[in-house]
Every structure is written in structure tokens, then in C-alpha cells.
Amino acid sequence: MILLLAVVVAAALRLAPAVAELTVVEHPPKTEGSLNVLAVGDWGRRGQFNQTLVAEQMGLVGEKLGIDFVISTGDNIYDDGIANTSDPLFKECFTNIYTAQSLQTPWYIVLGNHDYTGNALAQQDPAIREVDSRYLSIAKSFIVNSDVADFFLVDTSPFYLKYWNSTKYDWRNVAPRDTYIETLLKDLDDALTVSEAPWKIVVGHHPISSACEHGNTTELQQLLRPILEACMTLSYCLLSFNFCLPIDLDELRN
């Protein structure tokens, strides 16, 4: 539905009080230190809704930039995620669509609300990586450490009370909500604090503030925003409908 990318530039590094509990994936940049990434959200439509056209362009841009990995901001599989790790929808929406050579990199993936109305655990199941080894939704929230940048992938769907109150969503391994959110925010805060990367990029499916149709998210404004603001000098939000964003850190710096 929507994606949020908050770019956090560390003004001053605080001392590290605790070791982050969030899983960390090490993905070193290229040998000369550069890193090129594509970010995409709201995509799994069996090629429809122009998914195939966007995938082709991602392939071309990915080739040109020599991308290191792809980030997915969620709503990976419409309308209701996957039913299990052998659901044919997975290949129809992912494997069979992103076929370009340049996209045969790791994909670091968070869930969106549409993934949660299916079997949300199936997307993190190691069996899904046997179907396609690129699909790295290794935990609901996790960190990709790339030296020049740390990417903090945050599971935002459980914050929404309107989703939480609906029986459509798969809250296994999430409920009780209060404990889940409290632990997630503490782990995120700790991880942002200890991170020494020049760029800290927080990735989530839902925006904190938006002037578009979905509007602001009260729960994220109250709970997530203070943690980001504590170490943020620059941030932006983007609306996405199967939209792909190349992230060029040099460009952002200017």
C-alpha cells in the first residue's frame, strides 16, 4: 500500500549501552566502498498492474547501477500473501517476474498488511528460500549492515489498531501486541544507538505522515516517530504503488 523510507543521518553517536536483539545480516559494499540498492514495494500481482513492466525496468536500472541488493517494503503478494511455502502464487509473483540477471541478488523484505492477511509466517520460513534463495524475509524486523549504511527493516503492520482488531490478520508470533511493539521499539532504539554507519535507513511499509489518501498513522506518530527523531536530521516519506526507487547515497548527500 504505502512505503516509508526514513533516512537518518547520525549527528552525534551515542555510546552503546546494549547489544541489539534484532537479527543482523552483514552485506558488505563493493570493494571500493560503494553501495547501490533498489527499493520496491506493493508489487506481487502475477505480473499484472504493470508489475512486469516495472520488473523489466528494474532489471535495466539494476544492470546499469550494478546493484548490490533489493529492498522490498512489503505488500509482496496480493491480495492475501501466500497460503504456505509451496503456494504457486509465490513463483507467479516473484520468481517468474524478476528474471533479469541484475535482480539475482539478495532481496531483503519486510511484510505489508496484505502479506499479513495470508500466512505471514510462511514468508519467513526457511522453506521459502529453498523455492527462491533470493527471498530474504529472514525475520519480521531485522537489520542489513552494509558499512556505509545500516538498513533497519521494521514491521509496521502490528502498530495499526484497525488491522489488529480485525480477524483477517495472522498475528501468530506477534500477539500480545503491546509486548511485541515494546520489544521492537527498544531493539530498534538500541540498534540505532549503536550503529556507526554514516547512513541509517529505516524501512517500513506504512508512512508516519502522509498527505495522500491514507493520511497520517497516529500509532506510528506516537510510538515510532520519537525513536527516529532522537537521531534524525533528515527524513522523507514516499508513496508507492509498485514503484521502484534507486537509492544513491551520494545523490542524497547533495
Ligand X SMILES: *[C@@H]1O[C@H](CO)[C@@H](O)[C@H](O)[C@H]1NC(C)=O
* C-alpha cell read off for 191: 540498534
CA distance 167 to 157: 14
Contact with ligand X (CB under 6 A) among 16, 127, 161, 252: 161
- The closest of 251, 233, 244, 252 to 9, measured between CA atoms, is 233
Site string for ligand X, 79-118 (x = CB under 6 A): ----xx-xx-------------------------------
Q: Is 206 a catalytic residue?
A: no
Nearer to ligand X, 18 or 161 (CB): 161
- The closest of 104, 102, 105, 89 to 44, measured between CA atoms, is 89
Site string for ligand X, 32-51 (x = CB under 6 A): -----------------xx-
Contact with ligand X (CB under 6 A) among 162, 172, 178, 212: 162
CA distance 152 to 166: 27
CA distance 91 to 192: 35
Nearer to ligand X, 84 or 96 (CB): 84
Nearer to ligand X, 19 or 212 (CB): 212
In the complex, what is the shortest distance from the CB of residue 35 to ligand X, in angstroms, rounded to a whole number? 30
CA distance 209 to 216: 4
Total number of residues that touch ligand X (CB under 6 A) = 12
CA distance 223 to 206: 13
- Does residue 127 bind ligand X (CB under 6 A)? no
In the complex, what is the shortest distance from the CB of residue 12 to ligand X, in angstroms, rounded to a whole number? 24
Residues β-bridged to residue 238: 3
Contact with ligand X (CB under 6 A) among 133, 209, 222, 233: 209
Q: Give yes or no for a contact between 154 and 6, defined as CB atoms under 8 angstroms apart.
A: no
Q: Report, as residue numbers or ranges, the catalytic residues.
A: 214
- Residues forming the site for ligand X (CB under 6 A): 49-50, 83-84, 86-87, 161-162, 165, 209, 215-216
